[in-house]
Homo-oligomer: A and B are copies of this chain.
Amino acid sequence: MKKTEPKICIIGSGNVAFHFTQILTQTGFNVVGIYARNHIASLQIAQQNSIKIFEKISEIPTDLDLYLVCVSDDAVVNVVNELKEVEGIVAHTSGSVAIQNSAKRNAVFYPLQTFSKSRKVVWGEIPILIESDRKNDLELLQIWASKISEKVSVLNSEQRKSLHLAAVMCNNFTNHLLELSFEILEKKNISTFFLHPLLKETISKAMELGPKNAQTGPAKRNDIKVINEHLKLLENDEVRNLYQFFSQAIIKKYHKNE
């Protein structure tokens, strides 16, 4: 087995499978094929990357180096269980699912990013969190992951779960906040482009100063008058509750001794 050109099979056809197949193929790995329940999506990925498509999981060769399981969290257990006879490493790519024990060589290969098919991925910056109980396999995963990203780290399942939780809050919840904010502007026919420089600075500032030192605004200043005016502007109960919740939490954080 050449360490630098492992033979890989992709299992799954979602956003993670889509982007992993692309980067692994481009980096020169030997991606021999793809298997997924969704035939249309897997056919598309297979054609785009000129790889084979396996119609059944039992058709996948058992002598590959890596079986990359890119399926939804609740399907990981079953899929890994179906790969218990294979000789290579069976690595799933989920943040919240613990390392499995049903395959011969169980592992995790978790890329911490939000993937959409329509977005280009800058792989070099993306943390890849790897896990394996076998020292040799961990070394292999480290070598392989380092070919596609500069940020490879070993995390255990418990740490990875906390990281995934933090990622959900940072990404999904922030995105929801942005959606609610954009809706406020759209209702009043105000361009959402006005918010773009603020959004970029919000993240840059939080990364450089840390969010604790980056906070500003009415709740930070305990400016009840502005807060009440904003609450009056909000017609949607849910958004008003959200506004109140955040403002109270920020006031509590910065003014608890007053």
Contact = CB atoms under 8 A, between A and B. Distances in A.
Contacts of A61: none
A181 B166 contact: yes
B159 A202 contact: no
Interface string A172-200: 11111111111011001010001111111
Q: Interface of chain A, helix or strand or loop or mixed?
A: helix
A243 B249 CA distance: 14
Interface in A183-227: 184-185, 188, 190, 194-203, 205-221, 223, 225-226
A59 B125 CA distance: 55
Interface of A: 15, 72-74, 96, 112-116, 118-119, 122, 125-127, 129, 151, 153, 155, 158-159, 161-182, 184-185, 188, 190, 194-203, 205-221, 223, 225-226, 229-230, 233-234, 238, 241-243, 245-246, 249-250, 253
10 contacts: A72-B223, A73-B226, A74-B223, A112-B195, A113-B197, A126-B197, A163-B190, A173-B243, A174-B202, A199-B207
